[in-house]
Amino acid sequence: MASKIARPLLALVATPVLAALLVGAGTQGGAATPGAPGAGDPYFPNSGNGGIHVVHYGLDLDYTPTTKNLVATADLTVTATQKLSSFNLDLSGLTVDSVRIDGRRVAFSRAGNELTVTPSRALDKGRRFHVVVTYSGVPAHVYDPDGSPDGWIIQPDDSVFVASEPQGAMTWFPSNSHPSDKSTYDVEVTVPDGWTAVSNGRLRDRRSRDGKTTFAWRESQPMAAYLATASIGRFQTEQYTTRSGLPVYNAVAPSQAAAAKPVLDQLPAVIEFESRLFGRYPFDAAGSIVQDAPDVGYALETQTRPIYDRAPRLDTLVHETAHQWFGDSVTLTKWQDIWLNEGFATYAEWLWDAEHGGPSTAQKFATDYALPETDALWSFPAGDPGDGGHIFGKPPYARGAMVLEKLRQTVGDRDFFAILRAWASEHRYGHADSAAFIALSKHISGKNLDAMFATWLYGRGKPATP
């Protein structure tokens, strides 16, 4: 995510760790227990769920921009990771009409943002099943602890900006909405003729019938729910294939087209530059969604096809493209480690600038280090934001990039870029955390880096020496 508009912090509502989180942990064979209502992340305790892994989402969305009404079916292929008497999905608002497991209607209930599904018979650990949820209504975005809108964000011109970091996926589909679970996706969106719906991955099919057009998208690599999109607008679209054979699909709001074009045209060069530094581009599609949504206040690295709230600047495009390696392909297990996304994407901007006539990364580091102790840069450690209201604050971005520059200066260029490439390849399509990054850095460099990371990643305040 980039360029979040600063907003006053809202107080975080403390959510007690539910006793149910503990129930079912370590259950072997024996009794079936309810899946936990959260994935166990202290920053967002109710995001995600316990006891299930969603292998695949098949989303079928029919949206009418003038009425804002969504009529949808979500077909989830799920594996039980414990013996389940019931399990939860995350869903905010909307009306659930029915829930079926392997074709049979089952009981369900709603409470807050939790949809609890109770099968007629327990689901054994390891069992794979389909849960099909039919639902409808006018989706409403949520506000994150830092005050920014998140999810299905309807615009004054009836277009829809869909970006879901960290918790907005639940505003438009029943989901296991925590980055620790990744899934493949088929997203089909039907809109009135003249509108375009854009999701992740490749456009598989586009068909018109009775005044409506269906866009069928497929993301065939694992994706966290927060990186899914189904943005809708009266877009100008453009499709081409890069020299390296990558299909690009751009969708741009007409009001932004002239300003966006010179920046979007740089995408193949940015992908080539970053592939040289980080290893091969991880996905089979690319592109951009540019909307006219100035009140949103941010861009997001939606997988394969980042979304921008206005014509992006080149540094923002460089940032969101770098996230395809760092965040999208290699994904967090907990939100505390957000610097692994934002510090890396910010450092990619530094690298691009240095290569294109700007200051060196060492100069950027020195400029940031010169900021006074009172600057927001030093307000909390990059590796420990403390709560969900601070994950998009300044330290995970700028100080996260400083951690990487410090690492580079400590281990040298050869080992530093070997670390970045090994990080992207060893964890491609998977998950990793800060401890794994520190271990990899030590392994490749052969150096003890504990003090460096303790100071720059986890230390409070401004380090005494640069």
- State yes or no: residue 1 binds Zn ion (CB under 5 A): yes
Q: Whose Cβ is closer to Zn ion: residue 93's or residue 168's?
A: 168
- 393 Cβ neighbours under 8 A, 6+ residues apart: 146, 376, 379, 380, 385
Q: How far is the CB of 320 from Zn ion (least distance, A)?
A: 7
- State yes or no: residue 338 binds Zn ion (CB under 5 A): no
Q: How far is the CB of 108 from Zn ion (least distance, A)?
A: 36
- State yes or no: residue 169 binds Zn ion (CB under 5 A): no
Stretch of residues binding Zn ion (CB under 5 A), selected from 2-10, 19-27, 119-127, 144-152: 2-10
Written as six digits, the tokens of 69 are 């009404």
Stretch of residues binding Zn ion (CB under 5 A), selected from 53-61, 194-202, 334-342, 453-461: 334-342
Residue 230 CA: distances (Å) to CA of 70, 77, 159, 419: 12, 20, 11, 34
Q: How far is the CB of 222 from Zn ion (least distance, A)?
A: 19
Q: How far is the CB of 367 from Zn ion (least distance, A)?
A: 20
Dist. CA 326–CA 342, nearest whole Å: 8
Stretch of residues binding Zn ion (CB under 5 A), selected from 115-123, 186-194, 338-346, 443-451: 338-346
**Closest C-alpha to 163, from 323, 10, 348, 347:** 323
Stretch of residues binding Zn ion (CB under 5 A), selected from 112-120, 159-167, 343-351, 372-380: 343-351
Residue 167's region, left for phi above 0, alpha for psi from -120 to 50, else beta, is alpha
Residue 134's region, left for phi above 0, alpha for psi from -120 to 50, else beta, is beta
Stretch of residues binding Zn ion (CB under 5 A), selected from 55-63, 116-124, 340-348, 441-449: 340-348
Report whether 334 contacts 166 (CB < 8 A).
no
Stretch of residues binding Zn ion (CB under 5 A), selected from 217-225, 249-257, 335-343, 371-379: 335-343
Q: How far is the CB of 326 from Zn ion (least distance, A)?
A: 9
Q: Whose Cβ is closer to Zn ion: residue 198's or residue 345's?
A: 345
Percent helix, strand and coil across the chain, each to the nearest 5 = 25, 30, 45
Q: How far is the CB of 2 from Zn ion (least distance, A)?
A: 5
Q: How far is the CB of 274 from Zn ion (least distance, A)?
A: 14
Of the residues 345, 377, 398, 403, which one makes contact with Zn ion according to CB under 5 A: 345
Dist. CA 228–CA 304, nearest whole Å: 10
**Closest C-alpha to 256, from 242, 274, 240, 238:** 238
Q: How far is the CB of 345 from Zn ion (least distance, A)?
A: 4
Dist. CA 379–CA 369, nearest whole Å: 13
Stretch of residues binding Zn ion (CB under 5 A), selected from 180-188, 240-248, 310-318, 344-352: 344-352
**Closest C-alpha to 150, from 158, 159, 140:** 140
What is the number of other CB atoms lying within 10 angstroms of the CB of residue 459?
18
DSSP state of 11: P
Q: Whose Cβ is closer to Zn ion: residue 2's or residue 169's?
A: 2
Report the chain's C-alpha Rg in angstroms.
22
Task: Kindly state the number of chain residues that form the binding site for Zn ion, as judged by CB under 5 A.
Answer: 4
Q: Whose Cβ is closer to Zn ion: residue 51's or residue 393's?
A: 393
Q: How far is the CB of 344 from Zn ion (least distance, A)?
A: 9
Q: Whose Cβ is closer to Zn ion: residue 2's or residue 260's?
A: 2
Q: Whose Cβ is closer to Zn ion: residue 392's or residue 456's?
A: 392
Q: Whose Cβ is closer to Zn ion: residue 274's or residue 342's?
A: 342
Written as six digits, the tokens of 213 are 């057009």
Written as six digits, the tokens of 365 are 């580091």
Q: Whose Cβ is closer to Zn ion: residue 142's or residue 318's?
A: 318
Q: Whose Cβ is closer to Zn ion: residue 144's or residue 342's?
A: 342
Dist. CA 113–CA 126, nearest whole Å: 26
Cross-strand pairs, 402? none
Residues binding Zn ion (CB under 5 A): 1-2, 342, 345
